[in-house]
Amino acid sequence: MDALERFAPLPLQESYDNAGLQVGLTETEISGALLCLDVTEAVVDEAIRRECNLIVAHHPLIFRKLAHISDGSYVERAVIKAIKNDIVIMAMHTNMDNALDGVNFRVAAKMGLTQVDFLPSQRRQMAIAGTDEPVVYGSGVVGLLPEPMDARAFIMMLKERFGVASVRANELLQRPVSRVAICGGSGAFLLGDALRAGADAFVTGEMSYHEFFGHEQQLQICVIGHYESEQFTTEIFRDIIESECPGVRTCIAETQTNPIIYL
């Protein structure tokens, strides 16, 4: 847990978030770490089956305060099951989104982008106890494709790289796509920042209907799905643990947790 939090310190999380320790006692010797995007009862079952007593998730299981712990929701049932089986659950959410080489940098790497950095308007610094220099962090990144692509080819590349059934896009851009802005998950709040950064395309996981209006031929909006845009976060967890905690067994969860299906 310390290794993960050194990479993405908890103070980097947004004010509304609940990253960090969610369930369990931390002084037990680790038998294995199951890495996932979401925690469900099925994920806890997988941790039991694969003999992992730590679950590292991107999305917090406990996001809002629980008034009680019963069998009334999947969250409460997952908490009970984890406690009964001595499983620790931690979440690395917006702190991992905002961290250098975090979620958005991994998305950029999957696209093959170069010269990747935080969106200029979102680049910030924070002094954090135990660090010699201020930690640089931010929301969203921007980078360059190795070679410019036409808009349709760029969208088809996204479908292939991220296993997306359908990309929601605005009117196809009539100029090549070269500079790409990214925000995994719910990133519509950065659309204006992407424009100010001179992006030709903006890739995110979620946007609402009305947010697509008014940007025709300004930039190519590409909405690939919340789960799809963050699915490679587990690779970051794995790389940190394998580098900083040699000998700890890591397992990327096989349980499918995306609640959205495409018919």
Q: What is the mean pLDDT of residues 199-218?
A: 97
Q: Band the pLDDT of 147: cuts 50, 70, 90.
A: very high
Residue 203 scores a pLDDT above 90: yes
Between β-strands 88-91 and 20-23, what pairing exists: parallel, antiparallel or unpaired?
A: antiparallel
Q: Band the pLDDT of 149: cuts 50, 70, 90.
A: very high
Q: How far apart are CA 251 and CA 231, in angstroms?
A: 14
Q: What is the mean pLDDT of residues 115-142?
A: 95
Residue for token digits 């790409």? 180
Residue 51 scores a pLDDT above 90: yes
What pTM, to 2 d.p., does this model score? 0.95
What are the φ and ψ backbone dihedral angles of 176, each rounded to 5 degrees? -65, 150
**Residue-level pLDDT at 134:** 94
CA 188 to chain centre: 15
**Residue-level pLDDT at 28:** 87
Residue for token digits 């709040």? 189
Q: Band the pLDDT of 132: cuts 50, 70, 90.
A: confident
Per-residue b/e over 218-247, b at no fewer than 16 CB within 10 Å? Answer: bbbbbbbbbbbbbbbbbebbbebbeeeeee
Residue 73 scores a pLDDT above 90: yes
Q: How far apart are CA 190 and CA 140, in angstroms?
A: 7
Q: What is the mean pLDDT of residues 232-245?
A: 98
Q: What is the mean pLDDT of residues 114-133?
A: 94
**Residue-level pLDDT at 185:** 97
Question: To the nearest whole number, what is the mean pLDDT of the chain?
Answer: 96
- Residue % of the chain over a pLDDT of 70: 100
Residues in the chain: 263
**Residue-level pLDDT at 158:** 98
Residue 105 scores a pLDDT above 90: yes
Residue for token digits 């941790």? 47
